[in-house]
A = this chain, B = another copy of it.
Amino acid sequence: MQTIERWDIFEISLHGRSDGNPFTDYTVTATFQGENEEKTIEGFYDGEGIYRIRFMPSFEGIYHYRIEGTFQNELTEREQLTGSFTAVPAGENNHGPVRVADQVRLRYEDGSCYYSIGTTCYAWANQTLELQEQTLETLKNSPFNKIRFCFFPKFYLYNTKEPLTHPFEHGHGEGLNPSLIEINQKKQIHFPGMPHAEPNLDFNYMRPNPAHFRRYDERIRQLRDMGIEADIILMHPYDRWGNILMDAASCDNYLRYVVARYGAYRNVWWSLANEYDLIRTKSVADWERYGELVQEKDPYQHLRSIHNCGDFYDHSRPWITHCSLQRTDFYRTTEDTGIYMEKYRKPVVWDEICYEGNLELGWGNITGQELVRRFWEGMLRGGHCGHGETFLAENEILWWSHGGLLKGESTPRLRFLLDILKEVPGGYIKEGQGIFDETVGIAANQKYEKTEGFQPPSAIPTSGYEIHYLGIMQPACRDLYLPEDRHFQVDIIDTWEMTITDAGVHSGITKIKMPGRQYMAIRIIEVS
């Protein structure tokens, strides 16, 4: 009997009807029955008369399946429509899908901790194959365990080329909503520096292009095998090919298609939109329908989010699993992690907090130091952060959109941060109480008593494990208020130079010497 790993993909392909519109006219489903679960899975049309069904077993053991549907003219032999396989234990780097845990955290389904250190390459999978390979090689040597990218091609500053393939087959505008064309012309955002181009609406939006999505099959699998979550952006505003002008039936068909096609990839997250609020052709009612559709259709309940440019979407909506945020304040970014965690009681993922680079615009020109600082501020508070790079280049290949090579200084520092977080007792960190000038992360599973009011000493480590982060400040010494009857190992962490310096074991009120530089943290670990 065929075997696959738990959380791997069991795929069935079958010949069927190619007349009419196979993307909409016929059904194909399979019901999988294992010892611990029974799931009915929709298949999808992959062109040239081929239908595919992909299933991800969430448990080990024997699974039996039965295929049904109208996709075939004549009944195939019964033995071809049923079958079975065995799901064997997951391999070393297979932890299952990422799930919400403890309301505000993320955890792999096998129970392993997951801290998201994301990056963004919106259009990497639509670049030349050579560039895509380079991007994968770069990712392999990076700390990133999530990447945000789009199915739809992108048209914007430094993004003016045609994509390798289009998400819909060529056609004559079938599935467009004509009234949205006018709305789009009147209201669509045109940012500074954005070139003008006449829209190309020569597609049939009721027919997804299998050649386009087949390319994504491989890329998402490759990411999966590198341990990188694929935070797939389903819609976005930077369009000149009509992909934000589709009518409701085309949109729903597209969403059903990608859920059927990619749901079995354990590393998939659904990002309904990048900057939903800039897509003036869609209303909240549309987003609600999309969100609920994806929620209903996805048999695996992958993470679902919707990302803002200006105002946040209402992240309390039940179909949203976590807050995918772009900073809305220009000066306070990830410092607000606790505010939103408290407000929404969901994981907070800062997917855009300004990229490291030297671009002309203020979403893409901070230093590596500042980006790393924003990561520390967000992660110590129990949030997750996203990286990106926007260094101007003569070839106009910018990591943020195209992938390629990393040029900035932040990346090794993000690995250093992740390595420190992985050592937190119990696996998770959460925001503790510091005095006014520090961000304190404490071991999430340990005892912690908040002290009252403004009175110091207010930075007593009660959790047994604390990291006090000092950001842009450059103290040359620091007073620690340690309990007198316990002992603590104190380490000075230089988050930029990536050094950890032993500052000794201490008890009681202790003045420790600091290097008088920015981006320092003090780690306090109780010793017996």
Binding site for B on A (CB under 8 A): 189-193, 310, 329-332, 335, 358-363, 365-367, 370, 392, 435-438, 454-457, 470, 472-479, 481, 511, 514, 516, 518
Known: A331-B335, A360-B479. A367 touches B474 (CB 8 A): yes
| Contact among B331, B365, B514, B516 for A475, CB-based, below 8 A | B365
Q: Given A192-B435, A329-B332, A335-B331, do A475 and B361 touch, yes or no (CB 8 Å)? A: yes
Contact between A367 and B472 (Cβ–Cβ < 8 Å)?
yes
Counting every copy of the chain, the complex holds 2
**Which chain B residue has the least Cβ–Cβ distance from A518?**
B367
* Bound: A120/B367 CA distance, A: 31
**Given contacts A310-B454, A362-B435, A367-B518, could you give 11 more A-B pairs where the C-beta distance is less than 8 Å?**
A190-B455, A192-B481, A330-B335, A330-B437, A331-B332, A331-B335, A360-B475, A360-B511, A361-B475, A365-B476, A366-B473
Minimum CB–CB distance from A478 to chain B (whole Å) comes to: 5
Query: Could you list 15 examples of A-B contacts with CB < 8 Å?
Result: A190-B455, A191-B456, A192-B479, A192-B481, A358-B474, A359-B476, A360-B475, A361-B435, A362-B437, A362-B438, A362-B473, A365-B476, A366-B473, A367-B518, A370-B472
**A232 to chain B: closest CB distance in Å?**
27
- Rank and list the top 8 A-B pairs by shortest CB-CB distance, nearest first: A362-B437, A358-B476, A192-B456, A358-B516, A365-B473, A331-B332, A365-B475, A360-B477
A55 to B44 CA separation, bound complex (whole angstroms): 93
Q: Taking CB as reference atom, which chain B residue is nearest A335?
A: B331
- Shortest Cβ distance from A344 into chain B, in angstroms? 21
Closest B residue by C-beta to A434 = B362
**A472 CB contacts on chain B under 8 angstroms:** 366-367, 370
Closest beta carbon of chain B to A104's beta carbon, Å: 22
A43 to chain B, nearest CB (A): 43
Nearest to A511 among chain B residues (CB) is B360
Residues of B within 8 A of A362 (CB): 435-438, 470, 473, 475
Q: How far is the CA of A332 from the CA of B330 in the complex (A)?
A: 9
Q: Report chain B residues within 8 Å CB of A191.
A: 456
B contact residues around A367 at 8 Å (CB): 472, 474, 518
CA distance A362 to B365 in the complex (A): 26
The complex places the Cα of A310 from the Cα of B454 at a distance, in Å, of 10
CB of A517, distance to nearest CB on chain B (Å): 9
